Structure 1
């Protein structure tokens, strides 16, 4: 049996803030959260073969407009290729 092939998804969240209020940002590296209904803008920056490659991309992205204003709002998610993630149905309200 071969080891599962892993990839690393790099996400960034631009957190929405009401006028006159500050936005909440990630505090810890694994502190990922987003509320798209409230206006948070979630972006997938890429899929990488190693965590190091994802971290390199973060450093390059932090030089760009928008990303440099929210430099702590990156999240690297490990994912296994060919593995089901949503294994049950769902119900809408």
Structure 2
């Protein structure tokens, strides 16, 4: 029985304008996420930011965010 998956993201931080995060996919095994990185590394954007790949483990059948949320605009107003 699968109890978790491996989530592959690509995150790029870009100066004052922030950055972006892309959800690449979810894989049953870490090897699947690593294989996806190998396939994507030669593509435009990814090849320019090869360190942006991140693999995280996500446990299934549980809440991963258990608090409320605020918008990005609201968050920015808190730090100004």
Q: Does TM, scored on the shorter chain, surpass 0.5?
A: yes
Aligned length: 72
Are residue 9 (structure 1) and residue 10 (structure 2) matched? no
How does the TM-score come out when normalised to structure 2?
0.76
Give unmatched runs, 5+ long, in structure 1: 19-37
Q: Of Structure 1 and Structure 2, which has the larger fraction of its residues in strand?
A: 2
Judged with a 3 Å threshold, the aligned counterparts in structure 2 of structure 1 residues 4 and 57 are, in CA distance, closer, same or farther, namely closer
Q: Of Structure 1 and Structure 2, which has the larger fraction of its residues in helix?
A: 2
Moved beyond 4 Å, runs of 4+: 90-93
Give unmatched runs, 5+ long, in structure 2: 75-80
> Could you tell me how far apart the structure 2 residues matched to 1:90 and 1:6 are?
25
